[in-house]
Structure 1
Amino acid sequence: MYQPQMKLLIKPRSFSLSVAIATVVAGINITGITAQRAIAQPYPACEPPAAGEYLLLVVNESSQTSEQLRSTLPPNASTAVCRYLDNTVTRVGGFTDAEVANSWAQYLTDLGGIQAFVARPPETASIQAQNPSPQPGAASSSELAYNPQPLAAGYAVLVDYFNRPEVATDVQQALGSHVGLVSYGQRPYLLALHTSDAAVANSVLQRLSDRNFLALVVDSRRVVLLTPAVASVD
């Protein structure tokens, strides 16, 4: 079966996982020992991204990968386990912005034990798809379940976690409230506060700085919300 090739935006640091295609099950009956082979069906090939969509592909290095993704990604994220080249991956769709997809890939990589990268269709695919005829019932990128949006006008207090996601737990304890995850300047940051009150934003900034967090206040319209609350990391 032909599988469309997807251009990688982030090259995975490790790509050694092989897809298991068969499981040998030994069985015993009254006439003697017989070998029974149960052939496991391989995962289907990953669907290519829709027009204007970026894919986040996460290599399933272990059985814990799926659990980590479930506790980290928003509940409305579109995920599916599939086969990309010779690897079993979790396909996360719905990204219309490369910066957002890259920020998620970076954050997942920072969690440790997760290899994530971003893929998009090759350039030739977009050329061949110019002026396509609309198909009834076809889902557009605006109808995707997970579609991160910029924050409303105001002020966003961000915290640089220095590739240590466990900092989120420290910020939560310092502020006594949930901490989100955002994309700003092509990088992931922790979101400590989003407010329309400059005085409140500066007050939280001072509290965080007093506790030695590297925090900054920025125009919230330049910040894309990835998830309103990140899972605690021990």
Structure 2
Amino acid sequence: MNPINQSILSKSILSKSILNKIKIPTALILSTAGLLCGINPASAQRNTPTCQAPRTGEYLLLVVSPTKDNQTQLKRVLPTKIETNTCKYLNDTVTRIGGFKKIDDANRWARYIKDSAGLSAIITTRPTGTPTPSQAGTQATTVSYKPRRLGSGYAVLVDYYNRPQLASDVRRAVKGDVGFVSYGRRPYLLATYTSNQKEAYQTLEELSKRGFFAIIVDSQKVMLLRSVVNLPN
């Protein structure tokens, strides 16, 4: 046999012997093949659509469900007649459940999902009015900078759309101090932090009537950045 061919044959036999000893898992081979074919599992999450806003008068339940296991578990505990869809809210992948006409109904389902599947939910609704604008040029200053995570309870947050002057409007609406927090890697005004469920819902409804985009979230997932936002007179 030609020495070159003999050398190639020897290397081939040696390579097969090594592969047999290593026993590469089939899953790894398939995964590698998928990558070679241009399949990118992360692209599915990047292509997740943004959640559709609630209709006027509708309360929306957004169940935080970032993994396939979370989504499967949620489907197991929900009746088949309930329509759901997976979407992006802020930086979270959530399951959107709409159609609630009363906040109490949305809350009952949020509690049921928490107890049955161990998943947290966000409750929100569509603003029905327009916030009364503050005086032009008003700027908010913040004090008491002691970042800390809130304890158990309910936090009512307001998206201020990078307009700090809205803090004075929120303060008038809730008749109390307004804080500054971070939730889902985004800043919000803290309208209310309470263990009283009814109080939280009443605050959400009042803010929505006045045209603010407000949400109720699990307060333990909220980072308090400023306890009070001070506004110059």
Instruction: Please say whether Structure 1 and Structure 2 have the same fold, judged by a TM-score greater than 0.5.
Output: no
Give the shorter-chain TM-score range: 0.3 to 0.5
* Higher helix proportion: 2
Under a length normalisation based on structure 2, what TM-score does the superposition of the two structures give?
0.38
Task: Give the structure with higher Rg (CA).
Answer: 2
